[in-house]
Amino acid sequence: MTTWHRVASASDLRDDEGFPVDVDGAAIALYRINGAIHAIDDVCTHEFAVLSQGFVQAGTIECPLHAAQFDIATGECLSGPAAQDLRTYPVRQEGDDIYVGVPEA
C-alpha cells in the first residue's frame, strides 16, 4: 500500500539542483531530469550527507562531501565511496502539485 504525499510545486524545481522534501520524517529529494521528475533518498549511503546539496550532472547526483555518485532515475550507486544504492519513490504530478508515493510501514 502506497501513501501519496503532496511535497512540492512543480515550479519549485530547477533542472540543475535537487529539491529536498520531508515526508513523514524521511529525507527525500526531488530532481527534474529531461522533464521527468524523480524522487530518491536524500541521505548518502556512505556517511551522513545531504545529497541534494551536491552536484547534478548528466542525470547523476554527486555527494557534496565525499563524491559518491548516484543515478538519479534509478538510485544506483555509480561510484564510491558509497556501496549501497538509494531508494527511489514513485512521483505523480497533478497540475502544479507533485506527489511522492511512500510505502506504508
Residue 50 CA to its chain's centroid (Å): 10
Contact region with another protein (CB under 8 A), list: 24-32, 50-58, 72-80, 90-98: 50-58
Q: Does 65 bind another protein (CB under 8 A)?
A: yes
**Contact call for residue 22 and another protein (CB under 8 A):** no
Confirm or reject binding of residue 66 to another protein (CB under 8 A).
yes
Which member of 13, 37, 67, 78 binds another protein (CB under 8 A)? Answer: 67
50 binds another protein (CB under 8 A): yes
Long-range Cβ pairs for the range 12-19 (8 Å, 24+): 13/37, 13/98, 15/56, 16/56, 17/52, 17/56, 18/42, 18/51, 18/52, 18/53, 18/54, 18/56, 18/61, 19/52
Binding site residues, another protein, CB under 8 A: 17, 47, 49-50, 53-55, 64-67
